[in-house]
Amino acid sequence: MRKRLATVTVVAVILAAAVMVFAAVYTARSSATPSLCHSTALSIKAPATARAGKTVKVSGAEAQAPSHDVKATLQYKLSTASAWKNGASQSLRNGAYSLTWKAPAKKGVYQLRVRVAAGGASNASAAKRITVN
């Protein structure tokens, strides 16, 4: 009886290992990744100053144009604040973006950045300082 139980156990372990190997090889791959699957070297161009309440253009591009849809969202904050606020957004066109930002009524030094997102992952450009007067 013991020999038979040991044989059944070994067969079960071998079968379980074979199923796991088969599942690993044939499991459908997800496009969701914890990080973006393309270059995230994102440039940002914006004027150094803006008048309160006026609209300015913020543009830039990725170092390498992605082959899939990527959303770019402008974010801003007063330089003394910790939280970023979302502004305009659009899909990248050939790796480039052109967004507008309405300077807040409150004067001061602000930081602007552009966050790109694809498939649930995101990354941001370097921040650009802009003085609102």
Q: What is the pLDDT of residue 2?
A: 66
Which of helix, strand or coil describes residue 3?
Answer: helix
Contacts of 104 by beta carbon, 8 Å cutoff, 6+ apart: 52, 53, 78, 110, 132
pLDDT score of 25: 43
User: Percentage helix, strand, coil, to 5, in the chain?
Assistant: 20, 40, 40
pTM of the model: 0.68
Instruction: Write out pLDDT tens, residues 68-125.
Output: 778 889 999 999 999 999 999 998 888 889 999 999 999 999 999 998 887 777 777 7
State the pLDDT at residue 94. 84
Please give the domain boundaries of the chain with CATH numbers for all domains: 49-132 (2.60.40.10)
- pLDDT band at 61; cut points 50, 70, 90: confident
pLDDT at 12: 65
pLDDT band (50, 70, 90) for residue 18 = low
pLDDT value for 85? 96
Query: With bands split at pLDDT 50, 70 and 90, how would you rate the model's confidence at 17?
Result: low
pLDDT in tens, 30-42: 333 334 555 567 8
